[in-house]
Amino acid sequence: MLELDVQQLAVEAGTGTIIGAIVGFAAKKVAKIIAVLVGLELALFKFLESRGILTVDWDRLTAGLLKTGESATTGAPPDWVMTILSTLSISAGFTGGFLVGFKKG
């Protein structure tokens, strides 16, 4: 018979929620910084290209990104079902906290 310790599950879920909220908040801040840096880099490339200092092959640049995305989705998934089941309580709390932290960030 499977015995569940409700108090231990609650502690794990609560801890996961707190950690998830912190990570979600930080992830959104880091994502915003990266987006600004990439935008500035592309604007700099466009400016330098308009001045004749730099030549950017935009088609080749986007084709490289698309090929990378396609190759990432073609692999077979690993056996992760047991890992998820064994860490479900802390994972659920972490996911909820992450979403709250990301939304508030």
Alpha-carbon distance of 97 to 16, in angstroms, equals 7
Check if the beta carbon of residue 23 is closer than 8 Å to that of residue 96: no
The answer for residues whose C-beta is within 8 angstroms of residue 95's C-beta and 6 or more apart is 16, 20
Q: Give the pLDDT confidence of 34-80 residue by residue, as tens digits.
A: 888 888 887 887 788 888 888 877 777 676 665 555 555 555 545 55
Quick: pLDDT tens for 12-29.
Answer: 888 888 988 899 889 988
Whether residue 33 has pLDDT greater than 70: yes
Give start and end residues of each alpha helix (H) in 1-105: 6-50, 58-72, 81-86, 88-104
